[in-house]
Amino acid sequence: MSAATTAGAEAARRRTFAVISHPDAGKSTLTEALALHARAITSAGAVHGKGNRRGVASDWMEMEQARGISVTSAVLQFAHRGQVLNLLDTPGHADFSEDTYRVLAAVDCAVMLIDAAKGLEEQTRKLFDVCRHRGIPVITFVNKWDRPGREALELLDEIEQEFRLKPTPVTWPVGIAGHLRGLVDVREPGTLLRYTRAPGGAKEAVEESVPAERAALEEGADWEQAVEELELLAADDAVHDHAAFLAGRSTPVFFGAALSNIGVRLLLDAVVDLAPPPGDRPLEGGGTRAVGESFSGLVFKVQANMDRSHRDRIAFLRVCSGVFERGMTVTRAASGKPFATKYAHSVFGQDRSAVETAYPGDVVGLVNASALRVGDTLYAERPAVFPGMPTFAPEHFAVARPADISRTKQFRRGIAQLDEEGVVQVLVSDVRGEQAPVLAAVGPMQFDVVTHRMAGEFSAPVRLEPLPYHLARATDAAGAEQLNRSRLVRGEAMTRLRDKDVLALFPDLWQANSFAREFPDARLDPLVAAH
């Protein structure tokens, strides 16, 4: 088989996705359940498990040990029904950062996980915004149906109203949240998939297929209600439409309880059946790179200094086309220089093993990749350049100053390098001057990385002084002048070094609105994932 045929065939078998959710919705539990189903791991807790963090968390960085959280994106690969699934972790909790958003540049589909009692929450909203912006189709899983929660129809309404996304249930719960009797697969409405607690107290519930007549007899009102709700949904045209799903206009919805493994197999099947395989990818300046063409890949994350003694730097590359083979020499599009891939690994938490071959949709960790930057394209043979990584709306701001004034030169070099690597965004303003750059981040953890690396790597310890802003809007030179002139509004205008965009910073939405009232002509646009 030719390389192109192999790459095309392997791409068709792959599904590369991420779970987007708010902390505590059950992402770790679901990841574990998915992997268990697919038999990637054998014991519960080996994937995530807060009591057993070592499974996925890295202890590469000292600060990680101190805080007990992971800044390492795990990539979990497993097989299901002859397909290869790549599940990319989206760090949340205290490690929510720009990297969390960037992971979404490397997936073809997202599973939006919602807590049945809480509905849509802040981090889910932010991540969904990025999916919409990038045109990533979203499958919804309503979790924790074994616990009291909201009504199913009300949750669907919330998705439709808030996200302008048509929910099209593929499974439907029998029994209200907290009284889960089972699920109906809407494609086979004549059968109840009933779940009962396993004997011996095992977490995993036992599944049994019950025909409609018997379900009506045995489950009574719960079954009747589900049947009525399904009729309502059908009348409302809430049925899966594949084109609408791929276009980001609708979302297939699944219900379940990850903790008891209820509904997880159906979700896994959906990822295989509905999520799109890696496809031809748009290039900067027009045209596409076909999956079957020669190798190309996109660096979506760079993690530096995970091992201080080795000055280690690992670049996470998503293969976009062709076949990646360890040892091949590829070209870095940004510089035109060759890059050797001798140190290619598959990365799963702290466990690394050399990867020999990877196909479109797979993620490869390139160790010792000091030349690589977030957003870089690597290619073999025919050149390709993928669009760079967008910058995201920062919500945390701090002025950076050298702690030791005699290290000013190293300080400047360090800040410039961290900006270039995309560790934080660097803003400058005429008012503050270049001596006092303002660092902007999506999550406060990014500041910790700066502090750590500036001291350890550039020998230029920094002092960070937080600024009271939490909202950034795009404006222009005229808007910046108006903002700096305003006596009524608390806010400040700055220029982002990386792209020279002018940003207006405010403490909150209220101040931004007062500014808009004071200067109705001023440009004030949301940034990606801004709220």
State the residues that interact with ligand GDP by CB under 6 A: 21, 23-29, 50, 143-144, 146-147, 257-259
Query: Exposure of 457 by Cβ count < 10 A (0-12 exposed, 13-18 middle, 19+ buried)?
Result: middle
- Cα–Cα distance between 19 and 136 in angstroms, integer? 12
Minimum CB distance to ligand GDP, residue 62 (Å): 24
Minimum CB distance to ligand GDP, residue 29 (Å): 3
- Cα–Cα distance between 92 and 121 in angstroms, integer? 13
Minimum CB distance to ligand GDP, residue 219 (Å): 21
296 contact partners, CB below 8 Å, separation of at least 6: 281, 289, 319, 320, 321, 322, 377, 378, 379, 380, 384, 386
Which one-letter amino acid corresponds to residue 35?
A
Minimum CB distance to ligand GDP, residue 92 (Å): 6
Tokens of 370: 């000091």
Tokens of 41: 């791991």
| 91 annotated as a binding-site residue | yes
- Cα–Cα distance between 336 and 334 in angstroms, integer? 6
| 92 annotated as a binding-site residue | yes
**Cβ closer to ligand GDP: 23 or 390?**
23
CA distances from 71 to 45, 100, 306, 523 (A): 19, 10, 10, 36
3-state secondary structure 216-233: HHHHCHHHHHHHHHHHHH
Spatial contact of 416 and 425, defined as CB atoms under 8 Å apart: no
**Cβ closer to ligand GDP: 16 or 90?**
90
Q: What are phi and psi of 222, to 5 degrees?
A: -65, -45
Query: Exposure of 33 by Cβ count < 10 A (0-12 exposed, 13-18 middle, 19+ buried)?
Result: buried
Minimum CB distance to ligand GDP, residue 28 (Å): 3
**Cβ closer to ligand GDP: 8 or 182?**
182
Minimum CB distance to ligand GDP, residue 75 (Å): 16
Minimum CB distance to ligand GDP, residue 26 (Å): 3
**Cβ closer to ligand GDP: 92 or 479?**
92
**Cβ closer to ligand GDP: 176 or 528?**
176
Spatial contact of 485 and 519, defined as CB atoms under 8 Å apart: no
CA distances from 185 to 190, 218, 389 (A): 9, 18, 39
Minimum CB distance to ligand GDP, residue 90 (Å): 10
- Cα–Cα distance between 484 and 433 in angstroms, integer? 14
Minimum CB distance to ligand GDP, residue 270 (Å): 17
Minimum CB distance to ligand GDP, residue 421 (Å): 28
| 288 annotated as a binding-site residue | no
**Cβ closer to ligand GDP: 258 or 384?**
258
SS3 175: coil
25 contact partners, CB below 8 Å, separation of at least 6: 113, 114, 115, 118, 121, 124, 143, 144
**Cβ closer to ligand GDP: 146 or 395?**
146
3-state secondary structure 466-526: ECCCCEEEEECHHHHHHHHHCCCCCCEEEEECCCCCEEEEECCHHHHHHHHHHCCCCCCEE
**Cβ closer to ligand GDP: 116 or 380?**
116
**Cβ closer to ligand GDP: 121 or 160?**
121
**Cβ closer to ligand GDP: 29 or 86?**
29
Q: Report helix angle 264-274 to 27-37, nearest 10.
A: 80
Q: Beta strands 337-340 and 75-80: pairing type?
A: unpaired
- Cα–Cα distance between 66 and 302 in angstroms, integer? 22
Going by the annotation, the residues of the binding site for GTP are 89-93
Going by the annotation, the residues of the binding site are 89-93
